[in-house]
Amino acid sequence: MIPELGNFALILAALVALILGTLPLLGAHQNRMAWVAVARPATSALALLVTFSFACLAHAFVNNDFSVVYVAQHSNSLLPLEYRVAAVWGGHEGSLLLWMLMLTWWAFAVRMLSSQLPENMVARVLGTIGLVAFGFLLFILITSNPFDRLLPGAAEGRDLNPLLQDFGLIIHPPLLYMGYVGFSVAFAFAIAALLSGQLDAAWARWSRPWTTAAWCFLTLGIAMGSWWAYYELGWGGWWFWDPVENASFMPWLIGTALVHSLAVTEKRGSFKNWTVLLAISAFSLSLLGTFLVRSGVLTSVHAFATDPRRGIFILIFLVAVIGSSLALFAWRAPKVGLGGRFALISRESMLLTNNVLLVVACATVLLGTLYPLLIDALALGKISVGPPYFNAVFVPVMTPLLFLMGIGPFANWKQASIPEILRTVRWAFVAAIIVAIAVPLIYGNWSALTALGILLAAWIVFAGAINFVGRVQSTRAGQSFLSAALKQPRSFFGMHVAHLGIAVFVIGVTMVSSFQDEKDVKMAPGESVDVAGYHFTFNGVKAVEGPNYVAAQGDFDLSVNGKFMLKMTPEKRNYHSSQMPMTEAAIDAGFLRDVYVSLGEPIDRDKPEAEWAVRVYYKPFVDWIWGGCLLMACGGLLAMLDRRYRIKSRATSAINTQAGTQQA
Amino acid sequence: MKSRHKKLALIGGALAILGIIAALVLNALNSNIALYISPTDVAAGKAPQGKVFRIGGLVKDGSIKRQADGVTIAFIVTDTEKDITVNYKGILPDLFKEGKGAVAQGKMTADGTFTANEVLAKHDENYMPPEAAKALNDAGNRAADKKAADAPSAPAKPGASY
């Protein structure tokens, strides 16, 4: 009964989405306020219906209702409760419903927080989201209905893929989808601006915090996925350039460009067309990511069993969304003014360079991701493009970008002077060079690439510090340094924290790729192995029992310089229902290094108490990678909470009146 | 005058950067693509020498052998027609099993075996790497074609009763 209610709510939601996607848009076009007024209540109704539907599916999972196909395929009565809840998005159908849920929540948030916006604008934004929601709801109802029944019901479920039975499943997909789907708001604002022809600084100011919010979620979501892969897959890697990872990384790159170009549009009124194009691209890439992951055209840890109908539906949807928004752009963009002029050397030109580099980086990732599909589609053979391609292309594109990050904040709007900036930052550069030479030498293995990474990170930190101190000093006017610092706008703090996050991230990546150490060895009980000064002694394995698996648990003593530090207990699990083996690594995480042990397989399958193939790792600074991402997200949060977004500032209303008189 | 110079400098700079990036991408793409080649094609000598490529198929039953060091492994990948011996040093993925699909990436060695630096297996019970699936399909189709081609010319077995 309850699954039918969920299904019914989903159908109703599709109808409401259709109303939301038509009436308010038409109303805004023809100035019919009664139709415009539909937007807010329809958005609330949509959010309520989809949330109810989602709750129905969750109810089916919690109560082990195996008469629902999707539940029977992805759950099991032995599955612990928290994973039964998370299993709602553990497969194709449910993850789409989660996507939908996030979309309606974003729309609801816009509805609640948009009291200062003109009603016509709100109607257009919510209407655009309504159209997207309608397309996705149709997709769910036609090709991927999670409420389909299984008659007669199964006695027991097939269980959730053991790879997914982890804390990561509980938070990675929701965070990632919040980010993916959050770009729909920036997209809707862009479409609304194109429809109304009102592309001004006020528009940029409205869409900025929303874009930054989505960007923060996406940053956290990607970082969480990377961390999960690191500890769960047992390969000790944190990024594989897997197509699905790329699918989430591309919107991030464009989103990062968008966050920066919105700054120019807000402050100087320039880059309007470009900003709109980026907003459209970011969301299009989110959709493309969904298509790549869900259509099964890719080989990946994320690819579930496939159904060609789904791929075609998403492809059509993708073409419709991208095609119509680009057509709208081509029609409307020429009417948008160019905005303020700027010199060759200025804050604007540096942000433009930032944008170009980020877009190029995204294009190279896109090429590497789609190239094998293209070659396959043209029947030229099957190929794979591996991490070496991405590394070879990415480092040269990112190097100038990271270098610019140090200088950019010093540049004035409109016109800046390079000699002046260089005079201000020269000591930062000298200090960065010293650090770049010293650090690799201390770690005992100097290489140009290592030095480059450290140089860029140190440069960002030192130049950022000079910029921060300089700005505080110039606004001090007799106060103490601390109180002047605290009076700086939050967006200024946000920028520096996010940039610091990049530096921390770069240090992590550089150190771990330069100085990590790994060994694959055969170990009998009593034997030991040394990696980077860490001494591992294997004491054998014992059988342990989990809620829905049995495991061979290894027992390792970790010691340094003959001093015992701790016990490490990696596991090799075997899940009852699927008979799938799973490696659970043991990790001792630290500020400056991780030490990582995972069990391979018994050398002789019949003698699991004897020798095992074992993998041990030493990973310096690896946690800085995710720490850097966390800092970036914190920076975004600070920027989002800047006061000027919350108070109805005079500037906004002034710009509105100005725009009004211009039109009149 | 001055603004025209500025424009020219901008356009020239942009073109130069684009050129460098394009060269970079093409070069990287050219040297880092791994072609997928089926065991049958490898046996027919169609594998590139000294270049990384991928092979896929089923891991032959009973073919996994471990060297004395415990982490060097040899196994046979088959598309049911031809077998290729694969050598690999390291820990195999969890779902690597005899009789199941796998993909290996590496190079051919002088003795006609394949040395893998990476072994991929499926991550789900129902999942088969597409390259492995294709190799099996193609081999299956060839077998069917061969049967069809052979059938008319095959002499009727003596004593066959109809």
CB neighbours of residue B154 within 10 Å: 9
Q: Is B44 exposed, middle or buried (0-12, 13-18, 19+ CB in 10 A)?
A: exposed
Q: Is the pLDDT of residue A495 over 70?
A: yes
| CB-CB under 8 Å, B21 with A521 | no
Place of tokens 């965070």: A175
For residue A386, the chain B residues in CB contact (below 8 A) are 32, 34, 105
On whether any CB of chain A is under 8 Å from the CB of B33, the answer is: yes
Q: In chain A, which residue's Cα lies nearest the Cα of B73?
A: A603
CB neighbours of residue A144 within 10 Å: 23
CA B113 – CA B72 distance, rounded (Å) = 14
CA distances, A47 to each of A10, A16, A24, A44 (Å):
11, 10, 17, 5
Q: Looking at the partner chain, which of A304, A383, A396 has a beta carbon nearest the beta carbon of B36? A: A383
On whether any CB of chain B is under 8 Å from the CB of A636, the answer is: no
| B107-112 mean pLDDT | 85
CA B115 – CA A131 distance, rounded (Å) = 52
Q: Looking at the partner chain, which of B25, B32, B36 has a beta carbon nearest the beta carbon of A381? A: B36
pLDDT attached to residue B123: 55
Question: Measured in whole angstroms, how far is the alpha carbon of residue A30 from the centre of its chain?
Answer: 38
- Rounded to a whole number of angstroms, the distance from the CA of A557 to the nearest CA of chain B is 21
| CB-CB under 8 Å, A382 with B36 | yes
For A81-90, A247-256, A422-431, B56-65, which range has the lowest pLDDT when averaged over its residues?
B56-65
H/E stretch holding A35 reads: helix A33-36
pLDDT in tens, A97-129: 999 999 999 999 999 998 888 899 999 999 999
pLDDT attached to residue A304: 45
- Rounded to a whole number of angstroms, the distance from the CA of A22 to the nearest CA of chain B is 41
Q: Taking the CA atoms of chain B, what radius of gyration do you get in angstroms?
A: 24
pLDDT attached to residue B41: 86
On whether any CB of chain A is under 8 Å from the CB of B29, the answer is: yes
For residue B117, the chain A residues in CB contact (below 8 A) are none
Contact B68, B88 (CB under 8 A): no
Long-range contacts of B135-141 (CB under 8 A, 24+ apart): B135/B38, B135/B39, B135/B40, B135/B55, B135/B56, B135/B57, B135/B79, B136/B57, B136/B58, B136/B79, B136/B80, B136/B101, B138/B38, B138/B40, B138/B79, B139/B38, B139/B40, B139/B79, B139/B80, B139/B81, B140/B80
How many alpha carbons fall within 13 Å on the CB side of residue A636? Answer: 28
- Tell me what percent of the residues of chain A surpass a pLDDT of 70: 94
Q: Is the pLDDT of residue A649 over 60?
A: no
For A242-256, A289-303, A592-606, which range has the lowest pLDDT when averaged over its residues?
A289-303
Q: Is the pLDDT of residue A194 over 70?
A: yes
Q: Is the pLDDT of residue A660 over 50?
A: no
What ipTM was reported for this prediction?
A: 0.73
CA A157 – CA A168 distance, rounded (Å) = 22
| A281-296 mean pLDDT | 82
Question: Measured in whole angstroms, how far is the alpha carbon of residue A330 from the centre of its chain?
Answer: 29
pLDDT in tens, A578-588: 777 888 899 99
For residue B10, the chain A residues in CB contact (below 8 A) are 344
Q: Is the pLDDT of residue A51 over 90?
A: yes
Q: Is the pLDDT of residue B116 over 70?
A: yes
- Rounded to a whole number of angstroms, the distance from the CA of A372 to the nearest CA of chain B is 9
CA A165 – CA A79 distance, rounded (Å) = 9
Best B29, B31, B105, B118 member to test A by mutation, with max A CBs in 10 Å, is: B29
On whether any CB of chain A is under 8 Å from the CB of B3, the answer is: no
On whether any CB of chain A is under 8 Å from the CB of B22, the answer is: no
For A450-464, A496-510, A589-603, which range has the lowest pLDDT when averaged over its residues?
A589-603
Question: Measured in whole angstroms, how far is the alpha carbon of residue A64 from the centre of its chain?
Answer: 32
| A497-518 mean pLDDT | 94
On whether any CB of chain A is under 8 Å from the CB of B123, the answer is: yes
For residue A356, the chain B residues in CB contact (below 8 A) are 14, 17
- Rounded to a whole number of angstroms, the distance from the CA of B29 to the nearest CA of chain A is 6
| A189-194 mean pLDDT | 93
For residue B66, the chain A residues in CB contact (below 8 A) are 603
For residue A389, the chain B residues in CB contact (below 8 A) are 28-29, 32-33
Structure confidence at residue A625 as a pLDDT band (50, 70, 90): very high
Which one of A14-18, A317-321, A558-562 scores highest in mean pLDDT?
A14-18
| CB-CB under 8 Å, B123 with A161 | yes
Residue A618 carries which DSSP code?
E
On whether any CB of chain B is under 8 Å from the CB of A422, the answer is: no
Cβ–Cβ pairs < 8 A, chains A and B: 104
For residue A165, the chain B residues in CB contact (below 8 A) are none
For residue B126, the chain A residues in CB contact (below 8 A) are 305
- Rounded to a whole number of angstroms, the distance from the CA of A583 to the nearest CA of chain B is 7
CA A242 – CA A233 distance, rounded (Å) = 13
| A608-625 mean pLDDT | 90
- Rounded to a whole number of angstroms, the distance from the CA of B110 to the nearest CA of chain A is 23
No. of helices (H) and no. of strands (E), chain A: 20, 11
**Backbone dihedral region of A330: left (phi > 0), alpha (psi from -120 to 50 degrees) or beta?**
alpha
Best A76, A300, A358, A389 member to test B by mutation, with max B CBs in 10 Å, is: A389
SS3 of residue A570 by DSSP: coil
Bigger pLDDT: A626 vs A392:
A626
Contact A40, A122 (CB under 8 A): yes
pLDDT attached to residue A70: 92
pLDDT attached to residue A659: 40
- Tell me what percent of the residues of chain A surpass a pLDDT of 90: 55
- For chain B positions 92-111, those within 8 Å of chain A (CB to CB) are 92, 94-95, 105
CA A460 – CA A439 distance, rounded (Å) = 16
Q: Is the pLDDT of residue B110 over 90?
A: no
Q: Is the pLDDT of residue A299 over 80?
A: no
